[in-house]
Amino acid sequence: MILTHRDSNYGAKIHTRAGGKSELIGAHVYTGFGGGDKSALFRIQDSSAGFASVREITFTGDGFVNEVMETRGAETRSLPRGKGWFSWTLFSARNESGSGEK
């Protein structure tokens, strides 16, 4: 579990994979300058993750393309970024295959 996170620039901030579990409570991510991968703020691959009170702030309008990219097997879904500043209260993704969780 990560309690509060502040970061700037691009690149996935949390990449949970291979049945892992991640939890983040409170984040400010500042974007709009520098280089790096803009495809997703968070990546989840066949894993479980929960994010609460997350905000992406960009002063140039050039933020991430997607806030979250979630892959289950061969299927990938995304939560696209809105315009301007982007924030959400809660996001949860659970990996139910093989973990015993329901």
pLDDT tens per residue, range 23-51: 999 888 888 777 788 888 889 999 999 89
- Per domain, the residue ranges of the chain are 2-92
Q: What is the pTM of this model?
A: 0.79
Tens of pLDDT, residues 10-25: 888 888 889 989 999 9
- Determine the straight-line distance between the first and last CA of the chain, rounded to whole angstroms: 21
Q: Give the residue from 63, 54, 45 showing the smallest Cα distance to 24.
A: 54
